């Protein structure tokens, strides 16, 4: 029961985050309607779908505070980054390839090499900075500021390099998507969707129904609709869901010496006994990555493959630089430096090195393969099912590694010792 309760709560928060992100996506797409393809996926979509990671890290630091809060934060952001890099592109490929999309049979997903290089190189650079920046026993406000500055530079480059594009009505497109999806669903799929709708408090938290009325459609078409109230409300609902997610991860991590149990309705219950960082890497990261998955899948089904991949990769940049940097900056500015234990320093350092290594491996998989030049002169690379299987396999091995670390597996300890040796050669800035 001690494990079932937090797991059920995590599943509920997944559904709640998914429900709130629908409204957030509508508002953010409308606000960013003038951005070009690829840029929209790498900026507005990435920011909107990564809000759960930011809110989870922010709440974790201020609820759990100091070491445990940072552990959950680094675990959530790093785990989410790997989930976005491995799982989301793989699922997009497997969903689209071999099916009929936009009235044509899709044999492979073609992604712009420019998008891969732009976001891939930026991501690797930020991960290298992250490794060097917080490789110490103390965390300060300026470290968070450096991370935020990196993302602002990337975002500025995105805006200045984008091509002009005519306005698109994001909400109308969203409604058309929903109409097409409902038309394609089977009876059982509709029943399952309806059940999820009620479990996730859809009748109450169907934010689009409350904020997008019939009389708003004309304002939307004219570009005069105010999407900010919907954006703020969706963020509030996500914040509440992320607070429950942090509590669930805290409960699930109990069962060890530092956190033996948690109390619920007068009962003492025990979790799996994993450190908070590892619980967050597996469970919190998956829960907060639901919006990224949904948004990338929608773009892929619409044939916007550049946006689908750019959203996944740029979400990682937002996770590392803003979702981790801003809470770190705010918390240390208010409460002073965070003192880290040697165990947390080692665990977080290993996680950051693994993140960098697997990111390089994933981007190598993306970039290798047949290339083509489109009619517009853009260079694209093919992504087929073999790449999807490889990405899923790598992520499965990563999860096994995390479980092995928590269980003190001898094989994993050898890898852990090697990674710590690399960390010892790096400068300590904290």
At residue 37, the pLDDT reads 52
The whole-angstrom separation of Cα 94 and Cα 279 is 28
Flag whether the pTM goes above 0.95: no
Residue 109 belongs to a domain: yes
Mean pLDDT of the 226-243 span: 83
At residue 222, the pLDDT reads 63
Residue 353 belongs to a domain: yes
The three state secondary structure string of the chain is CCCHHHHHHHHHHHHHHHHHHHHHHHHHHHHCCCCCCCHHHHHHHHHHHCHHHHHHHHHHHHHCCHHHHHHHHHHHHHHHHHHHHHHHHHHHHHHHCCCEECCEECCCEEEEHHHHHHHHHHHHHHHHHHHHHCCCCEECHHHHHHHHHHHHHHHHHHHHHCCCCCCCCHHHHHHHHHHHHHHHCCHHHHHHHHHHHHHCCHHHHCHHHHHCCHHHHHHHHCCCCCCHHHHHHHHHHHHHHHHHHHHHHHHHCCCCCCCCCEEECCEEECCCCCCHHHHHHHHHHHHHCHHHHHHHHHHHHCCCHHHHHHHHHHHHHHHHHHHCHHHHHHHHHHHCCEECCHHHHHHHHHHHHHHHHHHHHHHHHHHCCCEEECCCCCEEEEECHHHHHHHHHHHHHHHHHHHHHHCCCHHHHHHHHHHHHHHHCCCCCC
- Position 171 confidence tier, pLDDT thresholds 50, 70, 90: very low
Q: Give per-residue pLDDT as tens, 383-408.
A: 888 999 999 999 999 999 988 887 78
The whole-angstrom separation of Cα 300 and Cα 122 is 23
The three state secondary structure string of 300-323 is HHCCCHHHHHHHHHHHHHHHHHHH
Mean pLDDT of the 311-333 span: 87
User: Does 201 have pLDDT greater than 70?
Assistant: no
Residue 166 belongs to a domain: yes
Residue 430 belongs to a domain: no
Task: For 372, list phi and psi in degrees, rounded to 5.
Answer: -140, 160
User: Does 15 have pLDDT greater than 60?
Assistant: yes
Q: Which residues pair with 112 in a beta bridge?
A: 380
Task: For 381, list phi and psi in degrees, rounded to 5.
Answer: -120, 140
**What b-and-e string marks burial along 304-333, b requiring 16 or more CB atoms within 10 Å of the CB?**
bbbbbbbbbbbbbbbbbbbbbbbbbbebbe
Mean pLDDT of the 257-278 span: 81
Q: Checking DSSP bridges between strand 262-264 and strand 267-269, what pairing results, if any?
A: antiparallel
Residue 429 belongs to a domain: no
- Position 190 confidence tier, pLDDT thresholds 50, 70, 90: low
At residue 358, the pLDDT reads 94
At residue 333, the pLDDT reads 92
Structure tokens given for 261: 């149990």
User: Does 168 have pLDDT greater than 50?
Assistant: no
At residue 183, the pLDDT reads 47
Cβ atoms of residues 252 and 6 within 8 Å = yes
The whole-angstrom separation of Cα 33 and Cα 12 is 31
How many domains does the chain divide into?
1
Question: What is the overall mean pLDDT for the chain?
Answer: 79
Cβ atoms of residues 56 and 288 within 8 Å = yes
- Burial (CB count within 10 angstroms: exposed 0-12, middle 13-18, buried 19+), residue 362: buried
Share of the chain above pLDDT 70, in %: 77
At residue 393, the pLDDT reads 95
Span of 140-144, 183-187, 292-296 with lowest mean pLDDT: 183-187
Residue 356 belongs to a domain: yes
CATH number of 339's domain: 1.20.1420.30
Residue 312 belongs to a domain: yes
Q: Give per-residue pLDDT as tens, 92-115.
A: 888 888 665 555 567 778 888 888
The whole-angstrom separation of Cα 57 and Cα 63 is 10
At residue 394, the pLDDT reads 95
Share of the chain above pLDDT 90, in %: 15
Q: Mean pLDDT highest for which of 7-16, 201-210, 306-315, 367-376? A: 7-16
At residue 179, the pLDDT reads 47
Q: Which residues pair with 110 in a beta bridge?
A: 382
Q: Give per-residue pLDDT as tens, 33-83.
A: 665 555 555 556 666 667 888 888 888 888 776 666 778 888 888 898 899
Other Cβ atoms within 10 Å of 214 Cβ, number: 6
At residue 189, the pLDDT reads 55
At residue 182, the pLDDT reads 45
Task: Please give the residue that has the higher pLDDT: either 44 or 1.
Answer: 1
What is the span of the domain harbouring residue 154? Answer: 4-424
Scanning the structure block, which residue is given the tokens 């004219």?
222
- Position 375 confidence tier, pLDDT thresholds 50, 70, 90: confident
């Amino acid at each position: 029961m001690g494990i079932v309760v937090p797991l059920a709560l995590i599943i509920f928060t997944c559904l709640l985050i998914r429900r709130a992100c629908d409204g957030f996506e509508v508002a953010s797409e409308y606000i960013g309607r003038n951005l070009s393809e690829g840029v929209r996926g790498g900026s507005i979509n990435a920011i909107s779908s990564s809000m759960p990671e930011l809110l989870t890290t922010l709440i974790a630091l201020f609820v759990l505070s100091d070491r445990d809060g940072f552990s959950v934060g680094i675990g959530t952001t790093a785990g989410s980054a790997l989930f976005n890099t491995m799982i989301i592109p793989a699922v997009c490929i497997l969903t689209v390839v071999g099916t009929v999309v936009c009235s044509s049979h899709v044999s492979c997903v073609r992604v712009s090499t420019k998008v891969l290089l732009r976001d891939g190189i930026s991501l690797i650079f930020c991960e290298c900075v992250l490794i060097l920046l917080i490789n110490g026993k103390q965390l300060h406000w300026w470290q968070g500021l450096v991370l935020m500055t990196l993302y602002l530079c990337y975002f500025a480059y995105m805006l200045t390099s984008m091509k002009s594009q005519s306005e698109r009505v994001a909400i109308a497109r969203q409604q058309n998507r929903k109409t097409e999806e409902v038309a394609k669903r089977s009876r059982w799929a509709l029943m399952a969707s309806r059940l999820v709708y009620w479990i996730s408090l859809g009748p109450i938290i169907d934010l689009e129904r409350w904020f997008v009325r019939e009389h708003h459609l004309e304002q939307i078409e004219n570009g005069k609709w105010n999407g900010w109230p919907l954006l703020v409300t969706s963020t509030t609902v996500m914040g509440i869901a992320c607070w429950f997610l942090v509590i669930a991860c805290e409960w699930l991590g109990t069962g060890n010496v530092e956190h033996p149990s948690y109390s619920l309705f007068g009962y003492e219950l025990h979790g799996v006994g994993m450190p908070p960082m590892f619980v967050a890497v597996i469970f919190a990261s998956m829960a907060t990555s639901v919006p990224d998955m949904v948004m990338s899948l929608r773009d892929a089904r619409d044939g916007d493959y550049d946006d689908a991949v750019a959203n996944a990769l740029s979400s990682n940049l937002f996770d590392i630089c803003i979702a981790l940097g801003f809470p770190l900056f705010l918390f240390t500015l208010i409460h002073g430096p965070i003192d880290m234990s040697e165990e947390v320093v080692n665990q977080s350092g290993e996680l950051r090195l693994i993140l960098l290594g697997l990111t390089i491996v994933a981007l190598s998989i993306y970039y290798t393969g047949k290339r083509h030049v489109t009619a517009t002169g853009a260079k694209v690379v093919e992504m087929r099912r073999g790449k999807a299987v490889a990405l899923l396999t790598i992520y499965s091995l990563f999860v096994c590694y995390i479980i092995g670390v928590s269980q003190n597996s001898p094989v994993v300890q050898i890898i852990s010792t090697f990674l710590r040796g690399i960390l010892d050669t790096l400068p300590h800035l904290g």
